[in-house]
Amino acid sequence: MDSRMNPQTDPGANPPANPGAAPLAQDLVDQARRLVRTRFPEALGAVLGGSAAAGRAGPLSDLDLAVLVPDTAVTLRETVRHEGRVAELFLHTRAGLAELFAADRASRRPVLPYLYAQGLVLLDREGAAGEARARAVALLDEGPPPLPAASVETRRYGLTDALDDLADVRDRHERLALGGYVFGAAAELLCDHRRAWTAGGKWLPRRLRAA
């Protein structure tokens, strides 16, 4: 079975390497494990997300890592370089994770819940990562809160106005700017209509395909 869906729960255990993984993908997984062992020996859980976990990573891809730390530590986000590769670290206690999940739900952009729900478990002491994954899956299944009616109307007005401008403008750079706004505004309204999660950057088209 897929180790991403069945994290190891023995204290300190690491899921085995995936024998079918591409060389680069497995190298990134091993690199992420070394980072966790080196920098966070006290960690309760660690999950690798993004393209590295999905097997879509390129030579310049970074590592997206959620690390669950003891309650005596602090919740923070930092960017580090490990073995020549950039790593985005989401460090949090159990209480901090609950707050981050709530904030992601309110923003309708659940970055951390998706990382936990779809990522590759690297470390799971006493079921900490598995518990966090279950909470993430439940949050995602529940769906985002609807936009307030006034907010929807404001967005509709802005979108209609931008579409009118886009029909008349001739300057290439202005068209690009308006086109980007129109795409983002329309995507947000569509996601709200379908009670689907939204996102930013390259993740927005993926959320739209799932909406």
Its pTM stands at 0.81
How many of the other CB atoms lie within 10 Å of CB of 40?
19
Please report the DSSP string for 29-42 in residue order: HHHHHHHHHHH-TT
pLDDT tens string 22-62: 556 788 999 999 999 999 999 999 999 998 888 888 888 89
pLDDT tens string 57-86: 888 889 999 999 999 898 999 999 999 999
pLDDT tens string 142-156: 999 999 999 999 999
* Residues in contact with 187: Cβ distance below 8 Å, sequence separation at least 6, in sequence order: 198, 204, 207, 208
Q: What is each CA distance from 204 to 36, 60, 166, 172, in whole angstroms?
A: 29, 21, 21, 24
β-strand pairing of 76-82 with 120-124: unpaired
Domain residues of the chain, as ranges? 23-142, 149-210
For residue 3, is pLDDT > 50?
A: no
- For the domain 23-142, what is the CATH superfamily, name and number? Beta Polymerase, domain 2 (3.30.460.10)
Q: What percent of the chain has pLDDT over 70?
A: 89
